[in-house]
Amino acid sequence: MHDARTAIVTGAGSGIGYATAVALAAEGYRIVAVDIAADGTERAADAVAAAGSEALPVALDVRDADAFEAAVDRAEQHFGGAPELLANIAGIGVAATLTETSREDWDAVLGVNLTALFETCRIVLPRMVAAGGGCIVNVSSVAGVVGVRNRAAYCASKAGVIGLTRSIAVDYADRGIRANAICPGTVASEWIGKILADAPDPGAAREAMEKRQLDGRMGTPEEVAEGIVFLAGARFANGSAFVMDGGMTAI
């Protein structure tokens, strides 16, 4: 067990965020579990406690920068000091080509996946710098590296995550900050479950998703969480876009 450190995890109520909160807790991190669903934050806090650490559950919409800043203030008072790690995992998607994407959906996807991430980093970075350094891991996607059908807004947002992450690494490396993006392939999360449930043929949709990976299966949230934990501790990794997709982009 490492000395106590604090990690802010957005999207901690389910999927990759939940798995990451638990995995980081096992590494000795105290967790600020942020999610839009209050029951999800409580569930994550219980799991963190079961892993032997402590969590502060915070229910908020990551698009609300004022609420997020207040939560960081609260976390600093609760745990004492700035967070050592910010893991931006909250995200949404819309199944649509560019011409099928409404402006409302575009704004929602970019708002959660990119603008909110800009705000969380903008709020946390000065605190990390003042404390002597820190680490940011932003969840992008293979959809930020290659084109994925019927995901125009999602692809744009996740490509933006990579660009923003690299700019943070370049601008703040000399102030003790590391920033990396992780780019998962298709992961068997609650969000994917909803997409499959809404598909005309859920079985065929699942099979198509599984076939995109070289080993014929979707990844698990726990596997991606392992990658996030790795990047949190990999001191020579900075400004990278770490693809973790079961070989989806190798073809």
Catalytic residue positions, numbered:
154
> Is the separation of the CB atoms in 137 and 85 below 8 Å?
yes
Residue burial 81-111, b: 16+ Cβ < 10 Å; e: rest: ebbbbbbbbbbbbbbbeeeebeeebbebbbb
DSSP state of 177: E
Q: Is 70 exposed, middle or buried (0-12, 13-18, 19+ CB in 10 A)?
A: middle
Token pair of 199 as six digits:
């598909």
Closest residue by Cα to residue 35 from 81, 71, 85: 71
Closest residue by Cα to residue 86 from 128, 43, 142: 128
CA distances 249 to 37, 90, 113, 147, Å, are: 33, 23, 21, 10
> How far is Cα 133 from Cα 148, in angstroms, rounded to an integer?
36
